[in-house]
Amino acid sequence: MNPYSGHILLVDDEPAFQRLGAAWLQGLGFRVTLAGDVDSALQSFREARPDVVLLDLVMPPSLKPEAGLSLLEAFREVPVIVITGHADHALALEATERGAWDFIAKPVDPELLRLIVGRAVQKARLEQEVQALKAAASVDEDYGIVGHAAPVRALRDMIRRVGPTRLSVVILGPTGTGKELVARALHKTGARNGAPFVAVHCGAVPAELLESELFGHLKGSFTGAHRDQPGLLASADGGTLFLDEVGEMPAPMQVKLLRFLQEGTYLPVGGRELKRADVRVVAATHRDLPGMVADGSFREDLFYRLKGIVLRTPPLDERRDDVPLLATLFLKRAVGARRRAQLAPDAAAWLAGQPWPGNVRELQSLMDCAAALAEPNARGEVVVGLDALLFAQGSGDGSAKPEPEPRRQGLDEAIAELEVRMITAALNATNNNRSESARLLGISRVGLLKKLDRLGLRQDHPAAER
Ligand SMILES: Nc1ncnc2c1ncn2[C@@H]1O[C@H](COP(=O)(O)OP(=O)(O)OP(=O)(O)O)[C@@H](O)[C@H]1O
């Protein structure tokens, strides 16, 4: 990869240096954004998201080095190269102590600038890669199914046990609860991992096309069939076929699917020769499949063929304690690895109290929306508070949820309830890290420990940090 392909924020108030420095860096292949004072430097950092900052410490309006030094904290996510005068050795050392990655003296030697900036960009890239790998690793451990709630832990345990078998699986659960995520996890944990995972939404394909979609068709078998077309069963051969919303499958197609499941063979539309495919079938629906069997709208024999085992994805309402954790995950994903992001305690507590009829998907889209609307603070962090969430919710679907009716209770009781909600939310959002939770809540660690004892929360939230 070209070592000179990064994005540099050049912060210097001297127009001549801006011009020459930018031209030299651009000539090497870097993208350059310019800023000439403290405020525009902060704004450009937020908007341009550079890989590296070149920073002159003495700038308007104050022309005092302290103003430049204070920017080091705001830019701490990326390597900062400080530009100093020749006589400013002490200042350069102080800048390095306060987080600058390197320094270079004016008048700047262009070759030295090339070397230092090139190294800084490489460091920035490595750090970005490490962050991305860490994020991916922490998600992979749980097959991307995040949550500490008992039904979620039980679900992951079942996936670990059922994934490697050949059993077919039916996943039942309300919309947006992660059924497809579970199906993919089953595929990933099984021996078919390297083969394709093919999903078909049985309700989204018109009934008359579903057969050809699954089994394929031969040229001329119907108007518009201009050539032979293999179906999704053929594409999934050796892997997993995920039948999403299987409850929507029309009755004639149910018969044909059953035949395939029993015999392992199928007939493409317009074909005479049976084809064979080796697929593991995982089916899912938000509908009450056993109820549909009982009322005759879903074939009983097919249901028993599909249901080697039944897994259930719980509604988000039944795993409220996971809401802040999931919300923080989605917020971080939406903001990206290069920015820090966190949920303010009032936001976490509010989220945990919402009904979530659209389940995890609804929470995810709210966090996507909040992340898109949120402005990073002066330190480049995105902190989503309750006001931002309410705003995002209003702009998301235009229907702010009404606040629940206040219950009749005394002030002490109400305060204790609020404390429990905010503390639980902070602990969940930080994986029970007490120091981090105390910081989020704006209290000391000792203060938090006392509250945990007073509110009887200590045993529910064992300490995570050593
Ligand atoms: N426990 C979880 N951890 C992380 N992400 C989750 C979790 N559960 C669901 N999601 C995310 O929520 C979104 C909705 O999940 P998914 O599509 O799997 O739900 P579904 O039950 O199949 O929905 P539908 O019934 O509408 O098809 C996806 O982006 C998924 O990654």
Report whether pLDDT(138) > 80.
no
Residue 54, beta-bridge partner list: 10, 81
Higher pLDDT, 399 or 272: 272
pLDDT band at 411 (very low <50, low <70, confident <90, very high): low
Cα Dmax for the chain: 89
Q: Are 359 and 316 in contact (CB under 8 A)?
A: yes
Protein residue with its CA nearest to atom 29 in ligand 1: 361
Per-domain boundaries in the chain: 7-137, 150-314, 318-454
CATH homologous superfamily for 7-137?
Response regulator (3.40.50.2300)
Report whether pLDDT(11) > 90.
yes
Protein residue with its CA nearest to atom 15 in ligand 1: 178
Token pair 């890239």: residue: 125
pLDDT of residue 141: 57
d(CA 327, CA 135): 15
Same fold: 7-137 with 150-314? yes
pLDDT of residue 454: 83
Nearest of 380, 399, 400, 458 to residue 47 by alpha carbon: 380
d(CA 108, CA 123): 21
Q: Interhelix angle for 434-441 vs 445-454, to 10°? A: 100
Ligand 1 center–CA 445 separation, angstroms: 35
d(CA 209, CA 227): 16
Among 142, 177, 325, say which to mutate for ligand 1: greatest number of ligand atoms within 8 Å of CB.
177
pLDDT of residue 323: 93
Q: Are 67 and 88 in contact (CB under 8 A)?
A: no
Chain centroid to Cα 274, Å, comes to 43
447-457 b/e with 16+ CB inside 10 Å = b? ebeebbeeeeb
Please state the ipTM of this predicted complex.
0.98
Q: CB of 364 closer than 6 A to ligand 1?
A: yes
Around 108, how many Cα atoms within 13 Å sit in the side-chain half-sphere? 27
pLDDT of residue 222: 80
d(CA 84, CA 107): 9
DSSP 308-365: SEEEEPPPGGGGGGGHHHHHHHHHHHHH-TTS-EEE-HHHHHHHHTS--TTHHHHHHH
Work out which ligand 1 atom sits closest to the CA atom of 146: 3
Chain centroid to Cα 263, Å, comes to 41
Higher pLDDT, 289 or 58: 289
CATH of 318-454 given 3.40.50.300, 1.10.8.60, 3.30.70.20, 1.10.3720.10: 1.10.8.60
Work out which ligand 1 atom sits closest to the CA atom of 180: 18
**β-strand pairing of 341-343 with 382-384:** parallel
Q: Judge if the upstream peptide bond of residue 196 is cis by omega within 30 degrees of 0.
A: no
Protein residue with its CA nearest to atom 30 in ligand 1: 178
* pLDDT tens-place string over residues 354-374: 889 999 999 999 999 888 888
CATH 3.40.50.300 fits 150-314, yes or no: yes
Q: CB of 285 closer than 6 A to ligand 1?
A: no
* pLDDT tens-place string over residues 77-112: 899 999 987 668 888 888 988 999 999 988 899 999
pLDDT of residue 402: 44
Ligand 1 center–CA 177 separation, angstroms: 5
Higher pLDDT, 139 or 133: 133
* pLDDT tens-place string over residues 280-336: 999 999 999 999 999 999 999 999 999 889 999 999 999 988 999 999 999 999 988
